[in-house]
Amino acid sequence: MIDLNQPSLLALLEAADRDAYVSGEEISKRLNVSRTAIWKQIRKLEAEGYVIEAVPRLGYRLVGRPSRLTRQEVQTRLQTREFGRHLHLFDSVSSTQDVLRELAEEGAPEGTLVIAEQQTQGRGRMGRVWVSPPGKGVWMSLLLRPQVPLQATPQLTLLAAVALRRAVSAVVPLDIGIKWPNDLLVDGKKISGILLESAAEEERLRYVVVGLGISANLEPEDYPEDVASKAVSLKMAAGRPVDRAELIAVTLKEFEELYELYLRDGFEPIRALWEAHSVNLNRKTTLATPRGPIEGIPRGLNDMGGLLVELSDGTLMPVYSAEIQSST
Ligand code: BTN
């Protein structure tokens, strides 16, 4: 599925200094392919929206990139062992969650990634709609097949938040906090959302589909009225657009690293990382739970990834499924 030649050609062109040409001879030596093969690959890149200048005797120079995501852009930047190596990229889907779930049922391996430029029925937590306009966000789903009990799912939810936080911070210099369980906030406004959907058999997890939505380059007018005051894009917050392919690659790298750490050393290191960036700990908080509202002060996470909320009588109550309404 991975076309090793084409990403390498793009990598060579991208690695060249600005204004510098890479000669056909060099490309064919480095990639061990013929001049005709290079030309074919150039045509393929051009079809993807790259603009490549070809000057006789000088060589090739990359002068323009497509504004939409391409397989090549993502693959050239990947630094992972497995995550994202089976990549499915679409212009428009109902929800990347549904596409990946089907692939998972057909036996897709761990790390399989589905990315879409647009989702027509993107969904969020608690049955909400996730607005996913074309070409501006990162809408993707990643497949995990961890050998852990079903009750460990909350741990993976928190792991996803830590990984995404690390990735976004590495790409854009913003101060990012985690709102329990896995929303990322900048100045109190949401920049991303994470949705875990799992398939289980008895007490065993068969697979988990991790949906990641990052408001990368959305403009204020892309948000519906009811969301506009609570959300912000990275572009709006940082004042400059972000490279979505870069963001995807770094997210997968951080995610794979933390996931391997989790499988090796358990939840403890993840818990510490999550707690270090939580915006809710030690603040008076109201949580809406399926069994009604709870008021208390979140003090940390328990071993299973539940939020430990200190109630007025001093008892610590673990909460697994709820929505934070206010935190002051
Ligand atoms: C939330 O904060 O409510 C979670 C939002 C999750 C959105 C992502 S976008 C990619 C994947 N596909 C979906 O339909 N949802 C998730």
Best mutation site among 139, 191, 244 for ligand 1 pocket (most ligand atoms within 8 Å of CB):
139
- The pLDDT of 84-90, averaged and rounded, is 97
- The pLDDT of 13-34, averaged and rounded, is 88
**Which range among 58-72, 137-151, 200-214, 273-287 shows the weakest confidence by mean pLDDT?**
58-72
Q: Is a pLDDT exceeding 60 seen at residue 113?
A: yes
Look over the chain and give the mean of its residue pLDDT values, rounded to a whole number.
Answer: 93
- pLDDT tens sequence across 215-258: 999 999 999 999 999 999 999 999 998 999 999 999 999 999 99
Q: Is a pLDDT exceeding 90 seen at residue 82?
A: yes
What pLDDT does 1 receive? 33
pLDDT-based confidence at residue 4 (cuts at 50, 70, 90) = very low
What pLDDT does 11 receive? 85
**Which range among 4-8, 302-306, 319-323 shows the weakest confidence by mean pLDDT?**
4-8
Residue 86 near residue 113, CB atoms below 8 Å: yes
Best mutation site among 118, 130, 132 for ligand 1 pocket (most ligand atoms within 8 Å of CB):
130
What pLDDT does 3 receive? 44
Q: Is a pLDDT exceeding 50 seen at residue 5?
A: no
- The pLDDT of 138-161, averaged and rounded, is 96
**Stronger pLDDT, 149 or 203, i.e. the higher one:** 149
Separation of CA 15 and ligand 1 centre (Å): 34
Q: Is a pLDDT exceeding 70 seen at residue 2?
A: no
- pLDDT tens sequence across 170-211: 999 999 999 999 999 999 999 999 999 999 988 889 999 999
Helices (H), the chain: 5-15, 24-31, 35-47, 71-77, 96-105, 153-171, 225-228, 234-238, 244-265, 268-277
Cis peptide before 181 (omega within 30 of 0): yes
Instruction: Give the position, in ligand 1's atom list, of the atom nearest the Cα of 96.
Output: 12
Residue 205: C-alpha distances to residues 160, 216, 242 (Å):
17, 31, 35
Best mutation site among 92, 102, 125, 132 for ligand 1 pocket (most ligand atoms within 8 Å of CB):
132
Instruction: Give the position, in ligand 1's atom list, of the atom nearest the Cα of 190.
Output: 2
Instruction: Give the position, in ligand 1's atom list, of the atom nearest the Cα of 192.
Output: 2
Separation of CA 119 and ligand 1 centre (Å): 10
Q: Pocket residues for ligand 1 (CB within 6 Å)? A: 95-97, 119, 122-125, 128, 130, 139-141, 183, 193-195, 211-213
Q: Atom 16 of ligand 1 has which residue's CA nearest to it?
A: 211
Separation of CA 35 and ligand 1 centre (Å): 44
Instruction: Give the position, in ligand 1's atom list, of the atom nearest the Cα of 119.
Output: 14
- Among residues of the chain, what percentage have pLDDT more than 90? 78
Helices (H), 58-197: 71-77, 96-105, 153-171
Separation of CA 132 and ligand 1 centre (Å): 9
- pLDDT tens sequence across 40-56: 989 888 877 778 999 99
- The pLDDT of 146-160, averaged and rounded, is 95
Q: Atom 7 of ligand 1 has which residue's CA nearest to it?
A: 213
The type of residue at 321 is S
Instruction: Give the position, in ligand 1's atom list, of the atom nearest the Cα of 94.
Output: 14
Residue 218 near residue 235, CB atoms below 8 Å: yes
Q: Is a pLDDT exceeding 90 seen at residue 7?
A: no
What pLDDT does 6 receive? 52
Q: Is a pLDDT exceeding 50 seen at residue 311?
A: yes
| Dist CA 298 CA 189 (whole Å) | 20
Instruction: Retrieve residue 231's tokens.
Output: 């959300």
